[in-house]
Structures are given as C-alpha cells and as structure tokens.
Amino acid sequence: MAGNTFGSVFRLTTWGESHGPAVGGVLDGMPAGLLLDLAAVDAALARRKPRGAAGTPRREADRVEWLSGLHPDADAQGRRRSLGTPIAFLIRNENTNPGDYAALAEVYRPGHADATYQAKYGVRDLRGGGRSSARETVARVVAGALAQQLLGPEVRVRSGVARAAGISASDPMSWDWSQLEHSAVGCPDPVASAAIEAEVARRRDAGDSAGGVVYLELLGVPAGWGEPVFDKLHALLGHALLSINAVKGVEFGDGFAGADLSGSQHNDAPDEDGVVRQNREGGITGGISNGRVITARIAFKPVSSIAQEQRALGSDGAVHSLQISGRHDALVLPRALPIVEAMAALVLADAMLQQRIQQHP
C-alpha cells in the first residue's frame, strides 16, 4: 500500500506494513550541514519498545538502515552531517508471525480497521492489520528524533501518562519528570504508576485491555509560530496527534473544561507586575504560539485486540464468535509517548522553518 506524507516544508513520508519485510520513511526538508546524532534516534526507538505487563511479547531489534541524505563520514562523536537531500531510511521486520492472523481472513475484528480498509481498497493485508498497524509508527519516531535535533536544545518536547486504566495521576504541574524512566507504564507519579501497572496486569490476565490519556508539554517554543487561519499551530498539532493509532481526542490548555468557565476566568490576563502566569490557552492564541508552555492531552482508546471472546462481523454479513490470538499490548500508552513526542517535534520543526521563510525584519 502507498505511503502517506505529513508536513509542508519539513515533510515525512512513511511506508510499510506490520508483517511485511520492512517499514521506512523519507524525511525531506532537513537543512544541509546539520550534525545529526544517530545514537539519539536509537534511544528514541528504545523508548518505543514494549516492557512490563502492558507490552506485547513481540520483540524487534529496530535497527535503522540509513539509505540517503547523510554524509558517509562521521565526526569524532559519531554524528553525520545532513546533505540537504531527502533522508531515506528503513527498519526491517525481523520477528513476525503472520500465521497468527489466518483466522481473520473472513472476519472483521471489532475496533480495528479491517472492515473500513476492505471498504476503501477492496483488498487488505490481514497480517497484523497491514498498513493500519502501529508498527508503521516506528518510522515516525525516527523522523521525530531528527526533527528534535533541528529544533535544538532550546525547544523541549516531553510527555507522560496522566491517566490509564481508569486511574489518574497527580496534576502534571507537580510531576517529578525524573521518575518517568522508572515507570513501566510511562507515568511520572510513582503511586499512580504502581496502581496502573497492577490494574493493567489484572486486565491482561482477564484477556482485556486498557486505554488512557497522555499529557504533552512543549517548552521553549517562541511566540510567533503557526499560521492564523487553516494552519493554526494547534490545528496542525491536532492533525498530527490524531493521526496516531488509537487516538480519539486531543485538547489544548484547559480544553473542554475551559468551556465551563467565564471569560474573566479563562482569559490569560497579566498580573499587576505584567507577567502572564496562568496558561488556560495552553500556549497558543489565535493559532499562533504565545511564548508560554504549550500543553495538550491526548486520549487513547483501549487496545482493540483482546483475548476475550467477542462478536464480530464477517465478510458474509453474519455475526461470528471471535477470540483473537497473537501478541498484543494491553496498554499502548507507555510505547506511545515517543510517538506523541515525535509527531509534535515534526509539527514544530515545520512551523519553525515556515517562520524562517516569512520572518519579519
């Protein structure tokens, strides 16, 4: 199936399927001469790998093969310089079990894109969901790690699990972000992390799954990024985040809760000293970054592939009994964090380059 392209000046095209030979991408728009740390790409991919009771038993090496766009010679730190030409790469699939999906040839799994892909294309790759598989997101993580290097150290992108399996963490404003690396479920709140991990393990044992909410922060974004009408910065971020598998909702700042406030409560007005301290807009006003921290929450539905017996529609129009086998996550949120950050970084890199093009004196 054909790849899809995201971005305008800074563009990513991804291709490949879950159980095909490889997935990969082409990143266009990277300025020439930038020293790129490819070890940072490997580190981002390592964060996407499954772990603990939440993750799938499937293990992939996720070794990146760089095909073009980088100077062949590395510097003393192992970095390679961008050539200004498209950066092409692939990641081979080395641990596939296509036989796990043989029973799905004539049955459409509830919550999956089986039926809609069949309706759109008239044919589908049933192995792992084909193009609709989250395996495709490995290419996004590669590109996002490069985008973060284009943005530089001043702009930081970070995310954590704010809610999962019906359990809420503390307010993200109180998080100790250093705790994130110690959480098997991607939650910086240690108490909530332990409770989420236990509940996800319980659901997995029962053949079930969980969903939740990811909190995203974009720090160091200067005022002025984003376009005022169709390409508002939060519209582009929403587009990017909603394109991730299993995402069903995105809100910025106070989001839906802000709809219940009065204007006097919601307006980000300055204090008497002239400093704007509240951030109900979530760092974006009129579609353009205002210089404050950009905050968003992203809702992920529960994992659709569960071991419990379910009813499912077949290609014959009849209702069938279905019990899904294979290797699946019970909670995708821990692995989704680097994907969320990658898509945000791609949008910010594009917005930065757009701003350079039209920068006023």
Domains and CATH numbers, the chain: 4-358 (3.60.150.10)
Express each pLDDT in 55-82 by its tens digit. Answer: 666 577 899 999 999 999 999 999 999 9
Express each pLDDT in 175-207 by its tens digit. Answer: 999 999 999 999 999 999 999 999 999 999 999
Q: Is the pLDDT reported for residue 140 higher than 70?
A: yes
Give the pLDDT score at 82: 98
Q: Is the pLDDT reported for residue 133 higher than 50?
A: yes
Q: What is the SS3 assignment for the chain?
A: CCCEEECCCCEEEEEECCCCCEEEEEEECCCCCCEECHHHHHHHHHHHCCCCCCCCCCCCCCCEEEEECEEEEECCCCCEEECCCCEEEEEECCCCCHHHHHHHCCEECCCCCHHHHHHHHCCCCCHHHHHHCHHHHHHHHHHHHHHHHHHCCCCEEEEEEEEECCEECCCHHHCCHHHHHHCCCCCCCHHHHHHHHHHHHHHHHCCCCCCEEEEEEEECCCCCCCCCCCCCHHHHHHHHHHCCCCEEEEEECCHHHHHHCCHHHHCCCCCCCCCCCCCCCCCEECCEECCCCEEEEEEECCCCCCCCCEEEEECCCCEEEECCCCCCCCCCHHHHHHHHHHHHHHHHHHHHHHHHHHCCC
> Confidence band (pLDDT; 50, 70, 90) for 265?
very high
Give the pLDDT score at 1: 38
Q: Is the pLDDT reported for residue 119 higher than 60?
A: yes
Give the pLDDT score at 294: 98
pTM of whole model > 0.95? no
Q: Is the pLDDT reported for residue 24 higher than 90?
A: yes
Express each pLDDT in 209-247 by its tens digit. Answer: 999 999 999 999 999 999 999 999 999 999 999 999 999
> Confidence band (pLDDT; 50, 70, 90) for 361?
low
